[in-house]
């Protein structure tokens, strides 16, 4: 039989065992090795592997033979590392822990290491836009420890389906981590990262950085592609109508500034967090009007329906059959008409009616 125990801490202990009714010496096969400690220092390979002392280890005792117990990593993708090298096994021999096939490396410490070289992290998701290209990946060295990626024109972090999450500058340090993700910092990792292609030129100059009103959820700069702008996944384009902002569906840089939805000129745009999920919009009382659809905080109706809102107790059809989200200080956002002149006091004072 095989006994398998998982250790959650940093020390592996083979507990002493006694046979019931045995008053004589403990049989030799129950003699244990001393404690073994999880320790990266002095054990982690100098390149190609990332070691983590938080990765637990376990031991196997076969046929109740404690004298030949073996240490293993719980994570099946991790390898045992001793004396700055990957070892095939760590086994209890003659009351001591010994590593390698022929058990020629005595040790009291061990660590679990995961591959972080060039083959451990993907160069692209399964699907991606032609706007991006695969990473230039450089193999791990003693200086970098793990593989690193470089891009001349900057990086993009992508979701599995190729949707943009965010842009990263060319000066960003992107390295492969042991869990197969690309690491930007200790707290930021992405499953898929690619390179931006050389940006298309635009004869006009526009500043797509978010404005200095943090309460408007202006979370990041708009992304330029030629003279047109867009936002990362989960964010929406907005323009300023001080002291608030309004969602827009498009923005193009012109000599006079940004030309936005409805041929409205504005001097500043940004990307903001939308407070209304994409899809059918709920009505008061929890009902859902399936004809009313919000897409990136822009409200419209499905084909065959007209968007109508209530203002000063009077029903009015929305210009262009659309309402935009007015992002206000304090987060009390409301719907607003395309011209930015009529705001709805209630977030749900609208309806979709069949066209006649």
- Give the pair of three-digit tokens for residue 98: 């010994």
Same domain, 269 and 283: no
Residue of 289, 350, 279 whose CA lies nearest to 321: 350
> Tens digits of per-residue pLDDT, 112-128?
999 999 999 998 998 88
**125 is a domain residue:** no
Residue 189 sits in the same domain as residue 141: yes
- Asked whether residue 123 is assigned to any structural domain, the reply reads no
CA distance 150 to 135: 7
Q: Is the dihedral of CA 70, 18, 5, 52 positive or negative?
A: negative
Cα separation, 121 vs 222, whole angstroms = 28
> Are 223 and 150 found together in one domain?
no
Is the pLDDT at 12 greater than 50? The verdict is no
Please indicate, yes or no, whether residues 263 and 287 belong to a single structural domain of this protein: no
Asked if residue 219 and residue 187 are part of one domain, the reply reads no
Q: Is the pLDDT of residue 340 over 80?
A: no
Domain boundary among 273, 298, 321: 273
Q: Are residues 104 and 145 in the same domain?
A: no
Does residue 166 sit in the same domain as residue 81? Answer: no
Is 207 contained in some domain?
A: no
Cβ neighbour number for residue 62 with a 10 Å cutoff: 13
Check residue 5 and give its pLDDT: 44
**pLDDT in the model for residue 347:** 57
Q: Which residue has the higher pLDDT, 94 or 209?
A: 94
- Is a pLDDT exceeding 90 seen at residue 345? no
Q: What is the pLDDT of residues 170-191, one digit of tens each?
A: 888 899 999 999 999 989 999 9
CB 293 within 8 A of CB 307: no
Average pLDDT estimate for 299-303: 91
Residues 108 and 92 in one domain: yes
Answer yes or no: do 269 and 284 share one domain.
no
The reply to whether 190 and 147 lie within a common domain is yes
Q: Retrieve residue 290's tokens.
A: 């399936």
**Please, are residues 310 and 327 in contact by the beta-carbon 8 Å criterion?**
no
- Asked whether residue 144 is assigned to any structural domain, the reply reads yes
127 lies in some domain: no
- Across the strands, what pairs with 172? none
Is 181 found in the same domain as 83?
no
The confidence score (pLDDT) of residue 212 equals 58
3-state secondary structure the chain: CEEEEEECCCEECCCCCCCCCCCCCCCHHHCCCCCEEECCCCCCCCCCEEECCCCCEEEEEECCCHHHCEEEECCCCEEEEECCEECCCEEEECCEEEECCCCCEEECEEEEEEECCCCCCCCCCCCCCCCEECCEEECCCCCCCCCEEECCCCEEEECCCCCEEEEECCCCCEEECCCCCEECCCCCEECEEEEECCCCCCCCCCCCCCCCCHHHCEEECCEEECCEEECCCCEEEEEEECCEEEECCCEEEECCEEEEHHHEEECCEEEEECCCCCEEEECHHHCEEEEEEEECCEEEECCCEEEEEEECCEEEECHHHEEEEEECHHHCCEEECCCCCCECCCCCCEEEEECC
Q: Are residues 35 and 103 in the same domain?
A: yes
Boundary of a domain, candidates 86, 114, 142: 114
Question: Does the pLDDT value for residue 29 go beyond 70?
Answer: no
Average confidence (pLDDT) over 258-283: 84
CA angle 224, 228, 230 (to 5 degrees): 60
- The domain boundary residue, chosen from 168, 196, 224: 196
Note whether residue 229 is domain-resident.
yes
User: Between residues 40 and 257, which one has the greater pLDDT?
Assistant: 40
* Domain ranges, residue 249: 214-273
- For the segment 82-86, the average pLDDT, to the nearest whole number, is 95
Burial (Cβ within 10 Å: 0-12, 13-18, ≥19) of residue 91: buried
Q: Is the pLDDT of residue 59 over 70?
A: yes
Q: Does the residue 335 lie in any domain?
A: yes
Residue 164 domain flag? yes
Query: How many structural domains are present in the chain?
Result: 4
């Amino acid at each position: 039989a095989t006994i398998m125990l998982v250790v959650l801490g940093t020390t592996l202990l083979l507990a002493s065992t006694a046979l019931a009714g045995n008053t004589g010496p403990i049989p030799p096969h129950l003699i244990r090795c001393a404690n073994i400690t999880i320790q990266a220092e002095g054990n982690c390979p100098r390149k190609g592997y990332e070691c983590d002392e938080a990765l637990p280890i376990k031991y196997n005792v076969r046929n109740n033979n404690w004298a030949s117990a073996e240490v293993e990593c719980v994570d099946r993708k991790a390898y045992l590392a001793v004396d700055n090298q990957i070892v095939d096994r760590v086994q209890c021999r003659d009351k001591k822990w010994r590593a390698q096939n022929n058990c020629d490396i005595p040790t009291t410490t061990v660590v679990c290491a995961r591959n972080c070289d060039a083959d451990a992290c993907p160069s692209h998701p399964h699907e991606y836009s032609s706007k991006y290209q695969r990473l230039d990946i450089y193999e791990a060295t003693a200086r970098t420890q793990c593989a690193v990626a470089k891009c001349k024109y900057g990086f993009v972090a992508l979701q599995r389906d190729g949707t943009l999450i965010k842009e990263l500058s060319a000066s960003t340090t992107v390295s492969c981590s042991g869990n197969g993700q690309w690491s930007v910092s200790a707290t930021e990792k992405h499953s898929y990262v690619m390179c931006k292609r050389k940006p298309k030129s635009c004869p006009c100059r526009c500043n797509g950085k978010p404005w200095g009103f943090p309460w408007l959820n202006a979370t990041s700069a708009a992304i330029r592609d030629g003279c047109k702008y867009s936002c990362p996944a989960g964010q929406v384009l907005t323009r300023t109508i001080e002291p608030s902002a309004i969602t827009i569906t498009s923005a193009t840089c012109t000599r006079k500034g940004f030309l936005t939805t409805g041929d409205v000129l504005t001097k500043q745009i940004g990307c903001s967090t939308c407070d209304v999920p994409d899809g059918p919009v709920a009505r008061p009382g929890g009902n859902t009007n399936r004809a009313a659809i919000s897409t990136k905080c822009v409200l419209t109706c499905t084909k065959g329906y007209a968007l109508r809102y209530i203002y000063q107790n009077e029903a009015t059809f929305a210009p262009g059959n659309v309402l935009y989200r007015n992002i206000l200080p304090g987060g009390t956002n409301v719907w607003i008409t395309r011209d930015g002149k009529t705001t709805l006091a209630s977030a749900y004072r609208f309806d979709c009616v069949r066209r006649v």
